[in-house]
Amino acid sequence: MGASDGGRPGRRIGVLGGTFDPIHHAHLFTAEVAASAFRLERVLLVPARRSPLKGRAAVPARERVAMSRLAAAENPLLEMSTVEVDRPPPSYMADTLGLLGQRFEGADLYLILGIDALQDFLEWREPERVLDQCRLIVVSRPGYELAVPPPFAARLGARTGRILMQPMPELGISSTDIRRRIGTGEPVRYLLPQGVERYIRERRLYNKAEP
């Protein structure tokens, strides 16, 4: 994770977590939209070792870290962080934010997620502690109303004011579809960074088609 960057009040650091299996252009565009709308100085790409709410990833963490690092290298806004893969699984965001708060002491953290992921937020470990450590930037997804779900107010109270909504265009790119395309020999060019695609081809990742 690196040494402390030092406390500089007023810094705004975005955190975009995910399985990134593989990372693709919709992930990166989400980071760009959030950074532009909320004046984020940097967005950390945080691959999860294993999400508590998802199954096992298709490829090991080391491969997803390498792909995320390649994606981040193409954009000075982005930085790849191993804050989750360096810890035993599963990855709880409340703990991740605590560690990032130590690294970026004095900065304001903004956790970026889709409105679809927000639906499960109350099932996360210590959602109150998550909101005490950051603001949420929630981006739109097809089929979901871009609004805080009604049950949140009863549990989170005034903390719901730390949940910020951000519309964004629908790109229609998913890791699941990319894995399927690679497995069946269909093109994936322009769906993900060129360096990431090259890495996948060289390592022969996702070559077996998923059901």
Q: Minimal CA–CA distance to 64: which of 27, 98, 29?
A: 27
**Residue 6 belongs to a domain:** no
pLDDT in tens, 98-149: 999 999 999 999 999 999 999 999 999 999 999 999 999 999 999 999 999 9
pLDDT in tens, 180-189: 999 999 999 9
How far, in whole angstroms, is CA 156 from its chain's centroid? 22
**Residue 210 belongs to a domain:** no
**What CATH number does residue 92 fall under?**
3.40.50.620
* Predicted confidence (pLDDT) at residue 158 exceeds the cutoff of 90: yes
**Residue 53 belongs to a domain:** yes
Residue 164 sits in which domain range? Answer: 12-203
pLDDT in tens, 8-57: 668 999 999 999 999 999 999 999 999 999 999 999 999 998 766 666 88
**Residue 141 belongs to a domain:** yes
pLDDT in tens, 45-99: 999 987 666 668 899 999 999 999 999 998 999 999 999 999 988 889 999 999 9
- Number of neighbours of residue 85 by Cβ within 10 angstroms: 19
DSSP string, 58-94: SS-HHHHHHHHHHHHHT-TTEEE--TTTTSPSS--HH
Query: What's residue 74's pLDDT?
Result: 86
pTM, to two decimals: 0.92
How do strand 163-166 and strand 135-139 relate by DSSP bridges?
parallel
Q: Indicate the number of domains in the chain.
A: 1
Coil, helix or strand at residue 5: coil
User: What does each C-alpha distance from 29 to 24, 102, 191, 204 come to in angstroms?
Assistant: 9, 27, 11, 26
Query: What's residue 149's pLDDT?
Result: 96
